[in-house]
Amino acid sequence: MSKINVCVIGTGTISDHHFKAYANNPDVTIYGVYDYVYERAQKKAEQYGAKKVFKSLEELFLDTNVDAVSICTWNKTHAEIAIEALKHDLHILVEKPLCMTVEEAYAIQEEADKHNKVFQVGFVRRFGTNTKVLKSFIDAGKLGNIYYAKATYTRRLGNPGGWFVDVNKSGGGPLIDIGVHIIDICWYLMGRPKVKSISGNTYNHLGNRKNVKNLSFYKTADYDQTENTVEDLANALITFENGASLLVDVSYTLHAKEDELGVKLYGTKGGAELEPELVIISEENDTILNMQPQIDHLTFDFQNAFQNEINSFIECCVTGVVSQAPVEDGVEIMKILEGIYKAAETKSEVRY
């Protein structure tokens, strides 16, 4: 069997995780790279042994040896690159969020429906070991009906700067950047219910806090502190047609004691905490049990999850099986994200 020739488009920070995982997959040849910044792409090509450094997207799409692409660019360009890649009949793994708006999401889905190609959204947390283990318990009915979930991803200091905080390039702040992960993981584990109503708030009281000294944080490849047109905190209550609800808060900065990551699900038979550490809660013999699975990674294991995500994508390309994070899920999550921004802007509940 011939290998899948993969190109990585956008060779900034997250691309390393794609490259490393592709390099470990025996069914892949890292064929080419492309970035606005040619030297950056060239460096990655040398590092990971890519055969080609493309000078333009047109050149990449006209190369008939390419089978699949990873899109690791600014959110603003996900839709146009994904649609063009689909038109050239390529398999696609696009980083989260799928795009910036619901309108773009529908346009991508419409094009994807015309092609018999794998389309995977980078919901990497679905591929974490702790998620897979919890999902197996949920699928076995151990939590019963999940009617409530609570997700928190708050950074006390973590405005990544650059394009991430230019709303025209990112589509929003912590909500669309990191909120997307925890909203998706709750929604996925809750059984992907249809959204019914959303209320939410966004705040921009603290800015990027570039004055803070002696505390390091994540920065984008082209770090720049001059622009900051995104929220620094968002919260929301999302209600679903089956009556379940999800409460979320996310921040790039907050006067909090420490960063916090929490993903909690509550059902009619049991509950679970996925983050900060997997625990399954149950009741037996009139006794409440907090059960901790004995596994290597109780919390999100970035490297393993990326490897699983890429392996799963390539397996779909090879076998034709539908992805575990398909385009329609990306569309539903865009509806929720856009709904929260709309609810915050209009200061009223959004109904579907």
Ligand X SMILES: NC(=O)c1ccc[n+]([C@@H]2O[C@H](COP(=O)([O-])OP(=O)(O)OC[C@H]3O[C@@H](n4cnc5c(N)ncnc54)[C@H](O)[C@@H]3O)[C@@H](O)[C@H]2O)c1
Residues 320-339 within binding reach of ligand X (CB under 6 A): none
If we measure between CA atoms, which residue out of 21, 73, 55 comes closest to residue 6? 21
- Nearest distance in Å: CB 232, ligand X: 17
> Which CB contacts under 8 angstroms, 24+ apart, belong to 75-78?
75/99, 75/100, 75/169, 75/170, 75/171, 75/176, 76/100, 76/163, 76/168, 76/169, 76/170, 76/171, 77/10, 78/104
List 12, 128, 267, 339, residue binding ligand X (CB under 6 A): 12
Q: Determine the Cα–Cα distance for residues 93 and 29; give it in Å rounded to an integer.
A: 15
Of residues 238-277, those binding ligand X (CB under 6 A): none
- Is residue 172 near ligand X by the rule CB under 6 A? no
C-beta separation of 122 from 96 below 8 A: yes
Query: Of 63, 84, 89, 222, which lies in the binding site for ligand X, with binding defined by CB under 6 A?
Result: 222
- H or E element at residue 350: strand 350-351
Q: Measuring CA to CA, which residue among 178, 175, 174, 186 is closest to residue 150? A: 186
Q: Does 92 bind ligand X (CB under 6 A)?
A: no
Q: Which stretch binds ligand X (CB under 6 A): 30-38, 99-107, 293-301, 332-340?
A: 30-38
Q: What element of type H or E holds 112?
A: helix 102-113
Instruction: Give 14 or 151: the residue with its C-beta nearer to ligand X.
Output: 14
121 binds ligand X (CB under 6 A): no
CB of 81 to ligand X, least distance (A): 6
The DSSP code sequence of 201-223 is: EEE-SSTT-TT--S------TT-
In this structure, what token pair is assigned to residue 155?
């950074």
Question: Binding of ligand X at residue 35 (CB under 6 A)?
Answer: yes
Shortest separation between residue 299's beta carbon and ligand X, angstroms? 14
Q: Is 155 in the site for ligand X (CB under 6 A)?
A: no
Whose Cβ is closer to ligand X: residue 53's or residue 143's?
Answer: 53
Q: Which is nearer to ligand X, 30 or 143 (CB)?
A: 30
Position 9 contacts ligand X (CB under 6 A):
yes
Mark 174-213 with x for binding to ligand X (rule: CB under 6 A) and - for no binding: ---x------------------------------------
Helix 15-23 to helix 38-48 angle (10° resolution) is 30
Could you give the CA distance from residue 41 to residue 292 in angstroms, rounded to a whole number? 43
Q: Is 171 in the site for ligand X (CB under 6 A)?
A: no
Q: Which two tokens stand for residue 244?
A: 């379940």
Among 32, 122, 179, 330, contact with ligand X (rule: CB under 6 A): 122
What is the smallest separation between the CB atom of 80 and ligand X, expressed in angstroms? 8
For the purposes of burial, counting CB atoms within 10 Å of the CB of 349, is it exposed (0-12), middle (13-18) or buried (19 or more)?
middle
Please name the residue that has the structure tokens 């990873």: 70
The residue range among 18-26, 70-78, 139-147, 338-346 that interacts with ligand X, by the rule CB under 6 A, is: 70-78
Q: Should residue 10 be labelled a site residue for ligand X when binding is judged by CB under 6 A?
A: yes
| Site for ligand X contains 36 (CB under 6 A) | yes
Task: Kindly state the helix (H) or strand (E) to which residue 312 belongs, with its residue range.
Answer: helix 302-319
Residues near ligand X (CB under 6 A): 9-15, 34-37, 40, 72-75, 77, 95-96, 122, 124, 162-163, 177, 220-222
